[in-house]
Amino acid sequence: MDSVSDGRRAAAVGPDRRETGGSQAVGYDSKRLLPSPSATAMATPDHKPLRHQPPAADTADEADAADAPRPPSKTRRKAAMHALQDLGEALIELSPRRFADLAAEVDLPERLVEAIGEARTITAWGGRKRALQYVGKLMRNVDPEPIQRRLDAWAQGHHESAAHQHALERWRERLLAEPDALDALAIDHPTLDRPRFRALIAKARQERERGGPPHAYRELFRELKVLLAVER
């Protein structure tokens, strides 16, 4: 009789409240046999939800962007404009003959040629400044390198000519001042006409002593010019 009562009480209690060694089993849903919410919370470690991470940038695109040429800065553009204006001013300062030669050589646009011709006739400061600015603006449409090369070549030739001129003048003064200068000149220039140079030197000395017109003095310079031109 007691055993039957114990069996009925066990059945009424249900599977999840059966006594096991004096303690009750907890943590399971009696209907679905799944972990209870409290047990799940205890078993799952705390962690923050992952934030959305943007996709990594393509390194190839970044390299292409870094290698792409950057536009010139405002300062460089301004310096380039002033350089073109200065080059245009140098063209204005050329003699008409040299400018015509250069214009034909580098094929300057007709509009630029006309602007430079008009700028030559302007003497007022304000008008000349506007003319220079206009010429500089037209210079943007031409290649400045051939123009600059030609101007540099002319300038170099001018410097060489000036140096040669000074060398002639030094030799003339040495011939008048130093007795042995003619021998030194003959060593460097074997084609020298000694009798001709001796006569010119003597006359030039007399002209200087008497204060007369420097005819022999000038003739001596011309003879030196011919001599050094042949030997160059």
CA distances from 184 to 4, 76, 164, 168 (A): 153, 55, 18, 14
Query: Mean pLDDT for the chain?
Result: 77
Distance separating alpha carbons of residues 62 and 164, to the nearest angstrom: 60
Domain positions in the chain are 75-142, 161-231
Q: Identify whether the C-beta of residue 25 lies closer than 8 Å to the C-beta of residue 16.
A: yes
Calculate the dihedral angle through the C-alpha atoms of 172, 177, 179, 183, rounding to the nearest 10 degrees: -20
- Arithmetic mean of pLDDT, 132-153: 90
- Asked if domains 75-142 and 161-231 share a fold, the reply is yes
- Arithmetic mean of pLDDT, 151-162: 79
Asked if the model's pLDDT at residue 178 lies above 90, the reply is yes
**Which range has the worst mean pLDDT, 52-56, 85-89, 144-148, 170-174?**
52-56
Q: Report the CATH fold assignment for 161-231.
A: Diphtheria Toxin Repressor; domain 2 (1.10.60)
Residue with tokens 């919410």, as numbered in its chain: 37
**Between these two residues, 87 and 159, which has the higher pLDDT value?**
87
What is the distance of C-alpha 172 from the center of its chain? Answer: 47
**Which range has the worst mean pLDDT, 32-36, 66-70, 124-128?**
32-36
Look at residue 20 in the predicted model and tell me its pLDDT: 45
Look at residue 4 in the predicted model and tell me its pLDDT: 46
Q: Which of 120, 119, 88 is nearest to 102 (CA)?
A: 88
User: Among residues of the chain, what percentage have pLDDT more than 70?
Assistant: 68
Look at residue 185 in the predicted model and tell me its pLDDT: 92
- Arithmetic mean of pLDDT, 39-49: 51
Q: What is the pLDDT of residues 84-142, one digit of tens each?
A: 888 988 999 888 888 988 888 889 999 999 999 999 898 888 888 899 889 989 999 99
Asked if the model's pLDDT at residue 208 lies above 50, the reply is yes
Q: Report the CATH fold assignment for 75-142.
A: Diphtheria Toxin Repressor; domain 2 (1.10.60)
> For residue 115, what is the DSSP state?
H
